[in-house]
Amino acid sequence: METSIHQDTFKIKALRRMKRNASALLGIAVLLFIIAIYFKIPILQAFSEAAMVGGIADWFAVVALFRHPMGIPIWHTAIIPTKKNEIGENLGNFVSEEFLNREKLEIKLDEFNFANKASDWLSKEENADKIASVVAVNIIPGILRTIKDEDVRRFIQVQFKEKIEGINFGDWVAMALEPLQKGNVKDELLTNLLEVMSAELTSNKDLIRKKVKASTPFLSFGLADKSITEGVFNGLQDFLNEAKNPESAVRVKIDEYVADFLDRIKNSEEMRIKINDMILGFVGKKEVQDYINGIWDEIKLSIHTDLEKGNDSSIKKSVSNLIKGFGTGIQEDPIMIDKINSFIKNDLLSVLLNNKRVIGDLISSTVKSWDGKEVSEKLELEIGKDLQYIRINGTLVGGVIGLVIYGVEQLYHFFLF
């Protein structure tokens, strides 16, 4: 806005300067005419008379375009403000008929090569950075402000639920446990598990004694509980030690149970449903739901934090690199360039030709909607400076023509009289 005001101010000063120059030249012609009359200088009088006529006539012609000369409503003056509607109508028809012509448009579109120019512009780092800055400073924050947090959270919840419900966790568990049935993995895992259980049993012997004591009759005076504790502890320890031996009957029973469990997971629909229900029940817990709801807040915070880094923003850098890569990719793909140019040419050509009358009417109606005085002032501001040269040339050319007429007149008198 400030740039536009500055340009208008500059144009106004330039227009006034040229008007003063043209008027000063006309004033000089008037002064020369007075001198010629006073000192009786015929040749100077002929020059100055013709110069005044030419200068005044061209002043009248230039002023008559924009307003009534000296405020007098002379016929066919103030042409632009009074003929504004006709000018708009003619301009609209001219543009629609002369510019929106298939042959001319096809030539111009072929010459322009939009895809090549656009890809060349996009592939330059400074241009890609400009677009990335607009995206990072305006577009992304604007989108985040527009999006309703509740809608996003609801969307994430729905998507998460649909994805989870679409997963057969029974298959996943069966697939994960399948290696246990092959090789020595199952045996090693079971042996390690029994070792851990044996160590835990030993470290918790006192706890077992307390539990047994709390369960024995009070009148046994602690004799029965000690005996029972030792029996329970030794029995469990013997069982675990025996189970560690892969050849033992206990181990065979455990292996059969594990194999049966894995087989049911793989082949039992009921078992798979139970596994799925268990996992879905876990997902439905409040703690998990609160975590899911917080995902969007974390994403927003991360985006805002990154964008606040300015030129160091990873998002901005990624967008810039994406734009540069896109531009470079098109440049290196002549087939894509041809496709883009053909698409733009055909579609743009179709739109312009199908709407040429609409475009013409739009230009016409736009011009008609303008205020006549305002249009006149704006046009004078744009072309008035150059039109002042018509006044200057009219003054000078008129003076020269005056001299020519004077010379012809003198020759006529010289040869005939």
For the chain, give every domain's residue range.
Answer: 2-82+370-416, 158-287
pTM (two decimals): 0.47
Q: Minimal CA–CA distance to 54: which of 402, 290, 395?
A: 395
What is the pLDDT, as a whole number, of residue 58? 94
Q: How far apart are CA 199 and CA 194, in angstroms?
A: 9
Per-residue pLDDT for 3 more than 70? Answer: no
What is the pLDDT, as a whole number, of residue 46? 93
Token match 């061209």: residue?
58
Q: How far apart are CA 50 and CA 400, in angstroms?
A: 8
Is 375 or 35 the better-scoring residue by pLDDT?
35
Q: How far apart are CA 299 and CA 156, in angstroms?
A: 12
Confidence of residue 394 (pLDDT cuts 50, 70, 90): very high
Cα–Cα separations (whole angstroms), residue 396 to 25, 28, 34, 330: 9, 11, 17, 58
Q: Minimal CA–CA distance to 322: which of 332, 334, 330?
A: 330
Cα–Cα separations (whole angstroms), residue 250 to 64, 169, 243, 254, 404: 118, 31, 5, 6, 136
Q: How far apart are CA 304 and CA 143, in angstroms?
A: 12
Contact 398/53 with Cβ under 8 angstroms? Answer: yes
Confidence of residue 4 (pLDDT cuts 50, 70, 90): low
Per-residue pLDDT for 305 more than 70? Answer: yes
What is the pLDDT, as a whole number, of residue 22? 94
What is the pLDDT, as a whole number, of residue 146? 87
Is 249 or 21 the better-scoring residue by pLDDT?
21
pLDDT tens sequence across 51-79 = 999 999 999 999 999 888 888 888 888 88
Q: What is the number of other CB atoms lying within 10 angstroms of the CB of residue 269?
A: 9
Name the CA radius of gyration of the chain, rounded. 49
Q: How far apart are CA 132 and CA 116, in angstroms?
A: 21
What's at 77, amino acid-wise?
T
Q: Minimal CA–CA distance to 251: which of 260, 263, 265, 241?
A: 241
CA 65 to centroid of chain Cα atoms: 45
Is 220 or 205 the better-scoring residue by pLDDT?
205
Lowest-confidence pick of 15-29, 105-119, 206-220, 288-302: 206-220
Confidence of residue 398 (pLDDT cuts 50, 70, 90): very high
Token match 């568990």: residue?
173
Q: How far apart are CA 136 and CA 113, in angstroms?
A: 30
Write the burial class of residue 376 (CB in 10 Å: 0-12 exposed, 13-18 middle, 19+ buried): buried
Contact 50/56 with Cβ under 8 angstroms? Answer: no
What is the mean predicted confidence (pLDDT) over 99-113?
A: 78
Q: How many CA atoms lie within 13 A of 225 on its CB side?
A: 18
pLDDT tens sequence across 167-182 = 777 777 767 666 666 6
Is 122 or 412 the better-scoring residue by pLDDT?
122
Q: How far apart are CA 178 and CA 186, in angstroms?
A: 10
Q: How far apart are CA 100 and CA 354, in angstroms?
A: 10
3-state secondary structure the chain: CHHHHHHHHHHHHHHHHHHHHHHHHHHHHHHHHHHHHHHCCHHHHHHHHHHHHHHHHHHHHHHHHHCCHHHCCCCCCCHHHHCHHHHHHHHHHHHHHHHCCHHHHHHHHHHHCHHHHHHHHHCCHHHHHHHHHHHHHHHHHHHHHHCCHHHHHHHHHHHHHHHHHCCCHHHHHHHHHHHHHCCCHHHHHHHHHHHHHHHHHHHCHHHHHHHHHHHCCHHHCCHHHHHHHHHHHHHHHHHHHHHHCCCCHHHHHHHHHHHHHHHHHHHCHHHHHHHHHHHHHHHCCHHHHHHHHHHHHHHHHHHHHHHCCHHHCHHHHHHHHHHHHHHHHHHCCHHHHHHHHHHHHHHHHHHHHHCHHHHHHHHHHHHHHCCHHHHHHHHHHHHHHHHHHHHHHHHHHHHHHHHHHHHHHHHHHHHHC
What's at 237, amino acid-wise?
Q
What is the pLDDT, as a whole number, of residue 219? 41
Per-residue pLDDT for 381 more than 60? Answer: yes
Is 191 or 43 the better-scoring residue by pLDDT?
43
pLDDT tens sequence across 214-263 = 666 554 455 556 677 677 777 777 777 777 777 778 777 877 777 777 77
